[in-house]
Chains A and B, each alone.
Chain A
Amino acid sequence: MTIRFILNGRDVSVDAVGASQTLLDFLRLDRRLTGTKEGCAEGDCGACTVLVGRLAGTGLVYEPVNACIRFLASVQGCHVVTIEYLSGPDGRLHPVQQAMVEHHGSQCGFCTPGFVMSLYALWMRVPEPTVTQVETAVQGNLCRCTGYEPIIRAAVAVSRYGTPAADHLETERETMTARLRALRADTRIVTGPPDNLSILPCSVDDLADCLLDWPEATIVAGATDVGLWVTKFLRPIGPAIFVGHLDAFRTVERHGNALRIGAGASYSDCQAKLAEHIPHLTSYWDRIAGWQVRNLGTVGGNIANGSPIGDTPPVLIALGAEITLRRGRDRRTLPLEHYFIDYGKLDRAPGEFVESINVPLPGPDDRDAAYKISKRRDEDISSVAAGLHMTVTDGRILDARIAFGGMAATPKRAGAAEAALNGQPWSLASFEKAAAALARDFQPLSDWRASAEYRMLSAQNLLRRFFLEQDAQTGAPVQLALA
């Protein structure tokens, strides 16, 4: 069977696409489209940034992604746009390119195509971005030469060189949508060599069936972790079941007093609904990886992988989230924290998959916060992540739910700290007791991200920050903002 997609202007069909074949190698080695660069092969530098256009519920959307960790099989039915497609047929520079040239946005030039692609995607959405919007858009792009200043100047000036309405991805939108519709597969695709099989189910039900047929298969959503198994650890991942194309698996909807996040929803897919319903998570969300990874990575994957340093589990546990696991037609639901049994040990049976996450919405009396501490502010893995939730009624703390990442072998609730707070008055003294209790909850490890000592002290201080921030008496600001 073949994987079909559109590469720049052309229809492409590729036979026997192995699960571990990356889009970047396909572009550079098979097609010799060498404008897309490999800088790190782990989704952290952005030199390989391309746009992938996909038909979502709202129509054709173009998102910047890392070609290095995007598997070729996963671009089935998509429009892949590389740097080579930017200059129009007349060879004139694209407005983004013109702005970069005139603002001296390149020095060695190796990161430049990746920056151009990220800025292109930003300009399509926000023609006249603020500096903060630009910084957020290029969190996933490293430049070692310029110090970024000229790139930012270029980015805020792009609209002087052209408008998105005249851009060929915009003028071709209708025809491209039609072409992509024609590529949609309504049956399951199975392709690649037997030891490296790629499986693309045609629906969520079909996904459940695939997992019954291949219970040990690797489930690949955004591949922001699985991609590294291949590019860094050279691990076989076949058979692999790809789920990123299943729209019904990516929905984010309010159901009653909760937000239901499809396990295949990317971080980006969640952003609008989070802003509306769980606003304290929006700035936290912007600190998860970079834009390219937020477009690929999923909340479901972040949970399902069971990492002790995933960004979403602590803040979702604090909100009282539950997950639904499915095997065939059978479903079961459990509190998120119960899913994490021990390091590398999860409550998931062969053939079972995380289908959705149900996140209760904070109520008017609730006080909530989400904190992340990392060596570098943006696009870094957390040293410590924390979700805090409590209700304060008549000056008393009730229902404290506090969860930490980076403090134990799994994302874990701080039972002793919660107990120290529940029923106590809303006061700094209560939080000091909770901070002391935290030492009974956790014995963190030392590693290259942080020492045990720092993890503990900063975690305790996050409890103090929460009080100072939420307390009406505190005058001075207690947290750094970017803008």
Chain B
Amino acid sequence: MKDTVLIAGAAHTDRIHDSATKHVTGRADYTDDIAMPEGTLHAYLGVSEVAHATLRGIDYTDVLATPGVIGVLTAGDVPGVNDISPTGRNDEPVFPTDLIQFHGQPLFAVVAETRDIARRAAQKAKIDCEALPHALDPIAAQAAGYGHVTAPLRLERGYVGPALETAPNRIQGRMTVGGQDHMYLEGQIAFAIPGEDDDVVVHCSTQHPSEAQHMVAHVLGVPSNAVVVNVRRMGGGFGGKESQMNLFAAVAAMAAKKWNRAVKIRPDRDQDMTATGKRHDFVIDYDVAFDAAGRIQAVDGSFAARCGYSADLSGPVTDRALFHADNAYFYPKVRLISHPMKTNTVSNTAFRGFGGPQGVIAAERIIEEIAYATGQDPLDVRKTNFYGGPGRNLTPYHQEVKDNILDRLVTELEETAAYRQRRADIIAFNAGSPVLRKGIALTPVKFGISFTATWYNQAGALVHVYNDGSIHLNHGGTEMGQGLNTKVAQVVAEAFQVDFDRIKITKTTTEKVPNTSATAASSGTDLNGMAALNAVEQIKARLVAFAAETWNVDPAEVVFHANEVHIGAETLGFDAFIRQAYLARVQLSAAGFYKTPKIHWDRDKGQGRPFYYYAYGAACSEVTIDTLTGEYRVDRTDILHDVGRSLNPVLDKGQVEGAFIQGMGWLTTEELWWDEAGRLRTHAPSTYKIPLASDRPRAFNVRLADWSENRELTIKRSKAVGEPPFMLGISVFEALSMAVASVADYRTCPRLDAPATPERVLMAVARLRAGG
């Protein structure tokens, strides 16, 4: 009876996003849409125009003389601690006092009657500073003797040195992988309303309300209980609102308290993109030993990242790059080292995959190198090196891979996508096509699920059943479009056996669930779904006990089913039953809690079980390139992705499709370009090009591996879906690489760096044609 669908919106069924109707009518409220109280003021940031300098002083005379300006907010106005470092390193001031560390760094805020006045006035400050030499990328930073922003990580198993030196085949190479701007459609925004005593309420577009709360309290010098942070929904996050909202929340709250007026701050798109962090770009050096069959013997990898001027989340991001530098492959001997380099650029941050994609693409490059060197189909080299078989399941961080389904998944995709036949056809096509060339690649992903900061793997929820039978659901996760609220509400609907519409999903607020973790690391549903289920189970246990006692039946005879409650021979509607329970003084509210079991991680030793489980997937992409211009088109992509037992297949499929396109964008047209002065010149959609509808694969077949079930006891045996499919975009990159390689008869692995813009594709073609 349990899984028979007789309610609307049960678990494991397709369900429309709970806000879909509001989205399409424009009635979904984002932070900037909230009605403002009388007298609301607006703040705007003033920023540096040099990349590195000693800050001697700022003259605000002309700013303050501007009609409509209320005042400026400076480092000296910080009542508490002038620091918003999310990792407690005290290296990220709200506003710097004596050192400018990147072009576009916020230095102060102007507060005025309107946003337009504040924005214009912010340009009138005279900044007195003395330029210092700057280093923009990790290689320049290493040359300039810059340090790490956070401690490097080393993962090691066996001795790689001797293995490399005595290897029958050895390849050394370097790959540069670009960063990525989040380009969430709704930019950063915070809106603070002062209250009595120390209190302040901040509406903020954030994936991490608890951190915004703690940061605001830290900066204001008040206890966390004085600060409430609310978010109903975000217009996209992708990691860009995991820590980057701290600045805006802090400025809005400080200004609100200073002037005792509501204050909103919303940067324009250019300031959003120049003043907030992005995906880390990496320079990866690899050294690999392999046998004649292409089986890897040892890998030595060095991962230097552009972290920016402060640590932010660079520690865990660069760690995760190493955790995924094996992707799906067993490295018998391995040494992986991260170099989280300080640079005079904006501090880089979380972005979907959190360093993982940069690790995975290194593994895929190594595979491609071996394939070209041994003259094999790269898919064969991939399969040869998959985890599996005796003694071949240990990761570089000493976690055993126990849930590997890649053999089945990849073989299934290989067949449904007709990979082998198409590859043969493509090679034949290329032989007769002088200008247009094709490529095809089938790449897998294995992605570890859990925050590597073990304490983050906890969540809370608050469920109320009102005495009319309506249900209020609140949890610590945030909704940024991924459908988290919908999926958690499905879990609740299923557990109570009531229709989905009976459940009201309410805004995320630090008042209802405290000490939450970021909605990040793909963990939203895993954690919050379990916490909500725990709350429901508590209420249900009370209801069952009440029914068993009142109706004098065995508790096993109390069954919730299809908007009804069966008690022995009697059946009551859910509403009527709840009414009875209320009158009998049964507590109809519960706080739920969950913490992920089994995980542990010792960073100093580089050993442990950081991940509860792995999610898997694979994609096969075919492309055509124009060897005269480097332009390209993705002809077809087939995806088979593992989400365990999906809670909502249609929403999960939407995540897979969207993540693939975003991953493809990262590796194709999305290019971050700094000039020599350290100014980011691709800082708005006019210059920074995310994929459009016409960049989609011309044929796009996406399926979920519906036979998969999480072997761990996750929420209803589902798996996380947010990040893993992002890396399926790598199939496009490797297909482009094959098309390029065709001009030199596939003898050489192309030196193609990411993003593979048309320029990089053409230049790679030109180099290969020139024999280089």
- A→B interface (CB under 8 Å): 28, 32, 34-42, 44-45, 47, 82-84, 86-87, 93, 96-97, 100-102, 104-113, 116, 134-136, 138-139, 141-152, 231-232, 234, 373-381, 383, 447-451, 453-454, 457-458, 461-462, 464-465, 468, 476-480, 482
Contacts and interface: CB of A to CB of B under 8 A. Distances in A.
Q: How large, as a class, is the contact surface on chain B?
A: 35 or more
Interface in B452-485: 480-483
Contacts of B499: none
From A84, A113, A134, residue with most partner B Cβ within 10 Å: A113
From B29, B238, B757, residue with most partner A Cβ within 10 Å: B757
Given A104-B16, A476-B432, A478-B435, 20 more contacts: A36-B26, A37-B30, A44-B686, A87-B25, A93-B25, A104-B654, A107-B17, A108-B234, A109-B233, A110-B184, A138-B693, A139-B693, A144-B183, A144-B184, A146-B658, A147-B660, A148-B696, A377-B694, A379-B692, A457-B766
Contacts of B662: 144, 147
Contact of A476 (B27, B237, B434): B434
The 5 closest A-B pairs by CB, nearest first: A35-B26, A110-B235, A108-B481, A109-B23, A147-B661
A457 B671 CA distance: 20
Q: Is the interface of A mostly helix, strand, loop or mixed?
A: loop
A100 B633 CA distance: 26
B686 A42 contact: yes
B23 A143 contact: no
Interface string B683-725: 0111101111111101010100000000000000000000000
Contacts of A381: 686-687
B185 A142 contact: yes
A144 B650 CA distance: 18
A449 B762 CA distance: 14
B763 interface: yes
B123 A478 contact: no
Contacts of B587: none
Given A109-B481, A142-B692, A234 B671 contact: no
A458 B185 contact: no
A461 B629 CA distance: 7
A145 B237 CA distance: 10
A39 B26 contact: no
Contacts of B186: 37, 39, 108, 110
Interface string B631-674: 11100000000000000001100100111111000000101010
B436 A149 contact: no
A86 B698 CA distance: 31
B629 A139 contact: no
B359 interface: no
A110 B30 contact: yes
Contacts of A373: 629, 631, 758
A126 B233 CA distance: 34
Nearest to A99: B24
B628 A478 contact: yes
Contacts of B696: 147-149, 152
A144 B480 CA distance: 11
Contacts, number: 258
A5 to B, nearest CB: 20
30 contacts: A35-B27, A39-B186, A83-B26, A87-B25, A93-B25, A96-B24, A100-B20, A100-B23, A101-B24, A106-B23, A106-B24, A106-B481, A109-B19, A109-B235, A109-B481, A116-B24, A142-B690, A144-B658, A146-B654, A146-B658, A147-B658, A147-B662, A378-B692, A448-B675, A448-B687, A457-B762, A458-B758, A465-B435, A477-B435, A477-B436
Contacts of B123: 234
B118 to A, nearest CB: 12
A160 B235 CA distance: 29
A40 B685 contact: yes
Contacts of A45: 185, 685
Given A36-B26, A377-B695, A107 B766 contact: no
Given A35-B26, A144-B236, A380-B689, A106 B757 contact: no
Contacts of A457: 762-763, 766
B622 interface: no
Nearest to B269: A40
Nearest to A101: B20
Contacts of B185: 37, 39, 45, 47, 108, 110-111, 142-144
A84 B26 CA distance: 7
Given A149-B696, A375-B758, A108 B686 contact: no
A24 to B, nearest CB: 12
Contacts of A231: 268
B421 interface: no
B218 to A, nearest CB: 29
Contacts of A379: 692
B489 to A, nearest CB: 16
A232 B270 contact: yes
B114 to A, nearest CB: 9
B681 interface: yes
B184 A108 contact: yes
Contacts of A108: 184-186, 233-237, 480-481
A53 to B, nearest CB: 19
B570 interface: no
B629 A465 contact: yes
A152 B436 contact: no
Nearest to B16: A101
B89 interface: no
A335 B238 CA distance: 51
A464 B233 CA distance: 52
From B17, B681, B700, B763, residue with most partner A Cβ within 10 Å: B17
Contacts of B658: 107, 144-147
A32 B686 CA distance: 27
Contacts of A375: 669, 671, 689, 757-759
B762 A93 contact: no
B22 interface: yes
B633 A482 contact: yes
Contacts of A96: 24
